[in-house]
Structure formats: structure tokens, C-alpha cells
Amino acid sequence: MAEVVRINPDLPSPRLISKAARVIQGKGVIIYPTETLYGLGANPFYPEAVKRLYAIKGRSKAKPIPFLIKDQQMLETLVEEVPPIGRELMEQYWPGPLTLIFRAKEGLPAPLQGRDGTIGLRISSHPIARRIVEAIDAPLTSTSANPAGAEDLIDCQRLAQLFGDQVDLIIDGGEVPGKGSTVVDITVSPPRLVREGMIKGVLT
């Protein structure tokens, strides 16, 4: 069974954040809290870790995974451009529960870009998620920690029961809101609302 560690989201322990980062950099898969849901976390530059993640979730490989990033400097390494509407939305809602779909930078390996050449990114406002991304200095997968098509799970005990023998570490950061991020595609004009989540009326 995976180890379950409790991290105080108001004062994340640097030692425990480093522990989570070591698991990810060791090509492992973790469960961690965000400002929306618990996520399945792996480093997308390790194909074997991402393959495990897809298998754990039972997710179709045709369905791309969104990522958390550290900052706008990391963003620039992953996207072809940031259109003006993207900068406006980032200024208003980042860090926070808004995932933006960009045109991926040419040459990025799968799964960093979907089959249509796009990439979904956000900067998290959750202290634990943010510190993990900073510690690994790489994008972090942020697909929800639940079986594909099933209800969202916000209870760590239930997550441990379901995934404890499949992931390498579970971070208990307490309660999360239980609603996904809002997703907006800014590769088209006008931008398209893909999913309304935590943020309402983002394009109105």
C-alpha cells in the first residue's frame, strides 16, 4: 500500500514536499490536493510514469491530460504563443482554478501535447500543489484522482482504498472543494468555454 502523509496546507512541510518531489522524480505517481480536486501526479517527461497514470485512472490515451506549471517562465517553454485574451485571463484568474488550452510548442513530446497539438495548463493556487511543482521544476499532471467517468472523490480515506496499491504516495491535504477547474480554449477566436467548473462566467 502507498504511504499516506498528512501535509498542512496552511504551512506545508518542506521535508514532506521534498519527499513528494523525490517520488515524482523517481518516475512515481502520487495523489495530491489542489484548489479543485485531488489529482494524480506524475512528471510528463517520464513516459512510463504517464503510462501508469493512464492505466490507474482507466483513461483513454486519446484524451489529453492537463498540467500544473510553476510560473509564466515555464509557460513560455511549453506554448507557441499567448494571445492577448490569454494574458487577460491569466492576469485575472492565475493562480487559480482556470485551465487554459494553448497551442503547444512544436516538438514537445507526448503527452505534453494532445493529438491536436494543444496543451492545457494552469498555475495552482493550492499551497501544496504549488510547492510540489516548484520542487520538481517541471509540469505536473493534474487529472482528477478518480476512475475515468466516475464521481469525483474528495476523501483521502476513500482514495487510499481505491488507489493505495497502485500509486506510490498519497498526500492528505484535507478537504478540497470537489469541483473541477474551468477550462477555456484560447487557440480559437473567440475563445471557447470547454467546461464550466469552479469559475463561473469567465467569458462574459
The pLDDT of residue 149 is 86
In this predicted structure, what is the pLDDT of residue 109? 87
Domain positions in the chain are 3-195
Q: pTM for the complete prediction?
A: 0.96
Q: Which CATH number fits domain 3-195: 3.40.50.300, 3.40.50.11030, 2.30.110.10, 3.90.870.10?
A: 3.90.870.10
- Mean predicted confidence (pLDDT) in 12-16: 98
Query: 135 pairs with which residues across the strands?
Result: none
**pLDDT tens digit string along 136-151?**
999 999 999 999 888 8
How far apart, in whole angstroms, are the C-alpha atoms of residue 9 and residue 148?
Answer: 27
Which helix H or strand E contains 17, and what residues bound it?
helix 14-25
The three grid cell numbers given for residue 99, joined into one nine-digit string: 485551465
pLDDT band at 204 (very low <50, low <70, confident <90, very high): confident
CA proximity to 109, closest of 70, 144, 77: 77
149-180 residue pLDDT tens: 888 989 899 999 999 999 999 999 999 999 99
* Residue 69, CA atoms < 13 Å, CB-side half-sphere: 21
CB-side neighbour CA atoms (13 Å) of 98: 22
